[in-house]
Amino acid sequence: MLGNFSYSNPTKLYFGENSLDYLSGELAKYGKNVMLVYGCGSIKKSVLYDKIIKNLKDCGKAVFEDGGVMPNPTVEKLNDGCRIAKDNSVDLILAVGGGSVCDYSKAVSVSAYCGDDPWEKYFIRFEEPTCKIIPVGCVLTMVGTGSEMNGGSVITNHAQKLKIGHVFGDEVFPKFSILNPVLTYTLPKYQMVAGIFDIASHIMEQYFSGTDDNTSDYLAEGLFKSLVESSLVAVKEPENYEARSNIMWIATWALNTLIAKGKTTDWEVHMLGQAVGAHTDATHGMTLSAVSLPYYKYILPYGVNKFKRFAINVWGVNPAGKDDKAVALEGLKEMEKWMKKLGVALSLSELGVKAGDIEGIADSTLVMDGGYKILDRAGIVEVLKASL
Ligand code: NZQ
Ligand code: ZN
């Protein structure tokens, strides 16, 4: 394990079919005013909205609703949410939805009282909050981002063509998250598989870096294998509880800081994907799937041993009689076959990107320095062109 680190995760999880039963116990810990945050309508197509409202009323809460949080929440929406939170002196923000709703709620929690422009402060200058932070609780309905147990918050600024994430500290993690796999059954297949690839990408971002023998990498391989197994069941049987519950649990552990401990990490695929998102507003997981294979083929020569290990340990490639690079490439070929079975985007053109958009997307791409190869401008453009 590299370096010195501490580990704790402050989010309390309630997992399983009956996990919503624990909401009232959590609500009792906070004051009367609750801001109920949700997305663009899915919550009202099931009984979930009614159940949550009843729960809140039974607990004697005053409810201030903030619906309409769009996928890839925007800075304009964030400013509106801050007004609702502040005007009503909310004591708790209850996020009911996917990563966008959870991320947005965290952004509101640190921005309502920040006394500054939150976009500039947190997403451009990457400063930490010094103001009052409103506690957040989550009821998760879409699986993938890990936002239910981390400090991440990603906000999009369409005017500036930037989509940027800030990873906040422990004090911004949700205080509790309710994870009921059954709530994810209603997800359209497109969203389900996008979420599955998002999980895969989170694992790979933390795996494809470093050359040391590291326990975090073994954890990552185990999570990835379980994801492949369960995802192939879930695409055929969306209401298979065993598969959907495994996927939900893998998503949480793939990005709750555990598998990044004591190692270097990359995150360049996310920087490319977020730049694509800033220009297209495409679904997050699909932006990642579209650029991943070209990116990994580009950096593979600089990290052959790890890609070989991935091929053997995750995809069961037999290395006998083959050179290292051939084994490594076979692993990526196996991953491509899996991606095709899922039905995720394999090119940027599927997301509406045209050749003329590449330079602009490259302008919006941040460069990370933890992976096997630090991309320069030419490298970014080459990967994006190969992804078209
Ligand atoms: O808005 P509604 O109507 O609720 O519909 C949503 C939305 O259209 C729908 N949905 C959610 N639960 C559903 C459902 N539809 C039917 N049944 C349900 N049970 O799904 C669509 C997508 O939801 P969204 O929350 O946008 O998806 P996701 O969870 O993938 O979140 C994406 C956002 O999270 C950020 C992404 O960049 C993106 O902005 N990320 C956050 C991270 C973090 N906090 O650490 C890390 C990730 O890498 C990611 O960047
Ligand atoms: Zn992601």
Asked whether 257 lines ligand 1 (CB < 6 A), one says no
On whether the CB atoms of residues 263 and 212 are closer than 8 A, the answer is yes
Decide if 286 contacts 179 (C-beta within 8 A): no
Pocket test for ligand 1, best of 38, 42, 66 (most atoms within 8 A of CB): 42
pTM above 0.95, yes or no: yes
pLDDT tens digits for range 192-220: 999 999 999 999 999 999 999 999 999 99
Q: Is the C-beta atom of 183 inside 6 A of ligand 1?
A: yes
Q: Can you tell me which atom of ligand 1 is nearest the CA of 42? A: 3
Answer yes or no: is the C-beta of 40 below 6 A from any ligand 1 atom. Answer: yes
Q: CB of 111 closer than 6 A to ligand 1?
A: no
What letter represents residue 29's amino acid? Answer: K
* Nearest-5° Cα angle at 12, 10 to 13: 135
Ligand minimally distant from the alpha carbon of residue 145? 1
Question: For the segment 126-183, what is each residue's pLDDT rounded down to a tens digit?
Answer: 999 999 999 999 999 999 999 999 999 999 999 999 999 999 999 999 999 999 999 9
Strands lying side by side in the sheet with 12-15: 12-15, 176-179, 136-140, 92-97, 33-38, 62-66
- The answer, yes or no, to whether any atom of ligand 1 lies below 6 A from the CB of 217, is no
Atom of ligand 1 nearest to the CA of 183: 19
Of 77, 155, 204, 284, the residue with max ligand 1 atoms within 8 A of its CB, to mutate for a pocket test, comes to 284
Q: Hey, whose CA ends up nearest to atom 18 of ligand 1?
A: 187
Residue nearest to atom 8 of ligand 1 (CA): 71
Rounded to 5 degrees, φ, ψ at 86 are -75, -45
184 ligand 1 Cβ < 6 A: yes
Task: Read off the pLDDT of each residue in 70-77 and give the average, rounded to a whole number.
Answer: 98
**Of 100, 108, 258, best ligand 1 pocket probe by most atoms within 8 Å of the beta carbon:** 100
Average pLDDT on 228-256 reads 98
Long-range contacts, stretch 49-53, CB < 8 angstroms, 24+ apart: 49/96, 51/20, 52/23, 52/94, 52/96, 52/139
Calculate Rg over the CA atoms of the chain. 20
- Determine whether the shortest distance from the Cβ of 77 to ligand 1 is under 6 A: no
Residue 149 main-chain phi, psi, to 5 deg: -140, 30
How many Cβ atoms sit within 10 Å of the Cβ of residue 373?
15
Are the beta carbons of 382 and 298 closer than 8 angstroms? yes
Question: Measured between alpha carbons, how far is 282 from 284 in angstroms, rounded to an integer?
Answer: 6
Confidence of residue 378 (pLDDT cuts 50, 70, 90): very high
Nearest CA to ligand 1 atom 40: 145
176 — phi, psi (to 5°)? -150, 155
Rounded distance from Cα 144 to ligand 1 centre (Å): 8
The rounded Å distance from CA 205 to ligand 2 centre is: 9
- What confidence category does residue 30 fall into, taking pLDDT thresholds of 50, 70 and 90? very high
Mean pLDDT of the 297-302 span: 98
pLDDT of residue 97: 98
Nearest ligand for residue 201 CA: 2
